[in-house]
Each structure stands twice: as structure tokens, then as C-alpha cells.
């Protein structure tokens, strides 16, 4: 669905964001999350709509964007242009336990599956490269992501850093896939 530019889009975007935050608030009420902070001040709130804290103390930063204009998906370049990838890197750099979630009705095909695979590699960039970056397209996407994060595509240390960031990222479609309460 393409949204018509203007005030109407802003209202739809705000509604989308509110629905996502309500779903998180229900998780707090049900005891699945400890806290939710809406647009916190300072570094914690930069580039995100809210920060939730899990019952184990891990913070999860949430950024919502209803759509990518009239496109059905987001590319790595578009996420970088909109500051999403910079935020997704800065938060884990400052807190190695935190996670980052990007919520959008537009999909993120280049990164969604890659992030899921990164979680299963136990931090081994070699395993990730051998088992998850099999296609040229996947390798190119991983290298584009590293480039957006100013990480060297030839350095093993930088591959491990990128894998670590990626393993703490998640891409969700938002209110259409809200968990049943």
C-alpha cells in the first residue's frame, strides 16, 4: 500500500507507532517486559521511539517507520539514509547486551533473514560466512552493511563486530503481527 504524501501519512505513521507501543505496554502489564520508556531524553532516546527493558534487565531499542514511501521494502542504503543502521550500531556499541528492533509495514528482506541467521552462529563470523552467506547476493548485502557501519569488508575483526551487531537486530512488520495476548 502506498501512502499519499502529506499530513495524512503523518497521522497513519503516528497511529502505527502508537499501536506498536500499546502492544509493548501490554507485555509490561502481562509481566513479559519490566518497563517501557517513550522517547527517553539524551542518548538513550536518540533515533528510537521507545526503550523496553526485559525482565532480565536487557534493553531493547525500538524504532518505527510505517513505510518506505511508496516502496514495499527497505534496502540497506535506504535504512542507512534514514539513520536506522547508524542507530542500530550505536546502541550495541554503548551496551553490549542491548538489542535493536526496527518496526515497519515495509519489509527488510536483505537484513531480516541475515539477522535471524546471525543469531544462530554463536558469534563465529567464519561459520556465518560459510553457512549463511552462501549466495553472492547475501555476501554483497553483508558487505554493504559493513560499509554503512564503516567496517572493513576484508578484516576478520570487523566481520565479527558486524555479526555481533546484526545478531542483536530484529525486523518486524508491526501491528499486523502483534503477539496474541
Q: Beta partners for 61? A: 51, 100
Whole-model pTM?
0.88
Burial class (CB in 10 A: 0-12, 13-18, 19+), 101: buried
Identify the pLDDT of residue 116: 92
> What DSSP character marks residue 176?
G
In angstroms, rounded to a whole number, what is the distance separating the alpha carbons of residues 176 and 48? Answer: 20
**Secondary structure element (H or E) that encloses residue 14, with its range:** helix 7-29
Q: How far apart are CA 127 and CA 121, in angstroms?
A: 6
Domain boundaries, the chain: 7-177
User: What is the gyration radius of the CA atoms in the chain, in angstroms?
Assistant: 16
Per-residue pLDDT of the chain (181 residues; tens, 9 = 90+): 455 555 665 677 678 888 889 999 999 999 999 999 999 999 999 999 999 999 999 999 999 998 888 888 999 999 999 999 999 999 999 999 999 999 998 999 989 999 999 998 877 888 888 888 999 999 999 999 999 999 988 888 999 999 999 999 999 886 544 445 4
pLDDT, position 181: 46
How remote is the C-alpha of 65 from its chain's centroid? 11
pLDDT tens for 61-110 read 999 998 888 888 999 999 999 999 999 999 999 999 999 999 998 999 98
Return mean pLDDT, the chain: 88
Q: Give residue 53's pLDDT.
A: 97
Query: What is the model's pLDDT at position 67?
Result: 81
CA 58 – CA 144 distance, rounded (Å): 28
Amino acid at each position: 500500500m502506498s501512502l499519499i504524501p502529506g499530513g495524512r501519512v503523518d497521522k497513519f505513521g503516528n497511529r502505527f507507532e502508537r499501536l506498536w507501543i500499546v502492544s509493548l505496554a501490554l507485555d509490561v502489564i502481562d509481566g513479559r517486559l519490566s518497563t517501557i520508556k517513550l522517547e527517553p531524553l539524551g542518548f538513550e532516546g536518540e533515533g528510537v521511539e521507545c526503550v523496553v527493558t526485559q525482565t532480565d534487565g536487557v534493553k531493547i531499542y525500538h524504532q518505527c517507520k510505517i513505510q518506505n514511501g511508496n516502496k514495499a521494502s527497505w534496502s540497506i542504503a535506504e535504512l542507512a539514509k534514514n539513520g536506522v543502521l547508524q542507530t542500530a550500531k550505536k546502541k550495541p556499541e554503548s551496551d553490549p547486551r542491548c538489542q535493536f528492533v526496527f518496526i515497519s509495514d515495509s519489509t527488510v528482506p536483505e537484513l531480516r533473514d541475515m539477522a535471524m541467521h546471525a543469531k544462530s552462529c554463536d558469534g563465529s563470523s567464519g561459520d556465518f560466512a560459510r553457512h549463511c552467506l552462501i549466495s553472492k547476493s547475501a555476501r554483497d548485502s553483508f558487505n554493504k552493511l559493513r560499509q554503512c557501519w564503516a567496517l572493513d569488508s576484508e578484516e576478520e575483526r570487523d566481520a565479527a563486530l558486524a555479526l555481533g551487531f546484526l545478531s542483536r537486530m530484529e525486523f518486524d512488520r508491526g501491528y499486523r503481527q502483534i503477539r496474541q495476548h
